Amino acid sequence: MLLTFLVALWVAPAQEALENEVKVFTVGREEKTIYQGFDAEADRAWGDLYNHTLLKIPKSQAALLPNKTYPIYGEDGYYLAGLDVFHQLHCLHVVRHALYNDHFDDPHANPEHVSHCVDAIRQSLMCSADISVNVWQWSEELSAVVGYSSQAHSCRNFDKLRDWARERRLHKWIDIRLFVEDGLPDPPIIS
């Protein structure tokens, strides 16, 4: 089972889009990002981060996945897929809506969904385990040592991954109640 998992990491469909880059995170206090706040522009920016969650991949890539995925009706040789980063961003957006529920009317921000999302984000953070070092520096203003958050991180190039996903985005509605006959063998399920 471990070998299957290692092979799956190597042949993940988006592997070709992986590229690392150094990014300096903003603290978000003095210098705000477009993702902060409650206005329509911030909400639109959040939606744009993950609005291509349903992708189509060719049968050759679907056959290499450690878990079987579903064929797309009317798209012979293509299968449904999604990158988990987009699910994680969706979840963070749901948590954001739940935290600021006086600004948003989101039926997805119910306690059960939020609980699922918080745990999905926890698992993702622990899986990726960012090992960038947080440093402490003297603050003349506060006359104390304070944490300094604007340090460099080694990141995957998100824009490149998002472009990869956009090229494979499924642009039609999928009837999830429609059974499609499939010839792919069942791989070992990794749970």
Spatial neighbors of 188 by CB under 8 A, at least 6 apart, are: 1, 4, 66
User: Which pLDDT score, from 0 to 100, does residue 85 have?
Assistant: 95
In one-letter notation, the amino acid at residue 43 is D
- Spatial separation of the C-alpha atoms in residues 98 and 114, rounded to whole Å: 7
**Token reading at 117:** 């999302």
Q: What is the C-alpha separation between 14 and 86, in angstroms, rounded? A: 13
DSSP-assigned letter for residue 14: G
Given this model, what pLDDT does residue 27 score?
A: 73
All residues at 6 or more sequence positions from 64 whose CB lies less than 8 Å from its CB, including other chains? 7, 8, 11
Per the CB < 8 A criterion, the answer to whether 156 and 19 are in contact is: yes
Strand 135-139 to strand 144-148: parallel, antiparallel, or no bridges (unpaired)? antiparallel
For 88-108, how does the pLDDT look when each residue is reduced to its tens digit (9 = 90+)? 999 999 999 998 888 888 888
The gap from C-alpha 106 to its chain's centroid, in whole angstroms, comes to 20
In the block, residue with structure tokens 């402490």: 136
What Cα–Cα distance (Å) separates residue 132 from each residue in 42, 85, 129, 152?
Answer: 27, 19, 9, 7
pLDDT under 50: residue ranges of the chain? 1, 8
Which residue has 């600004």 as its token pair? Answer: 103
Best CA proximity match to 96, nearest among 106, 84, 87, 85: 106
What whole-number distance in Å separates Cα of residue 185 and Cα of residue 191?
A: 18
State the CB neighbour count (10 A cutoff) for residue 62. Answer: 22
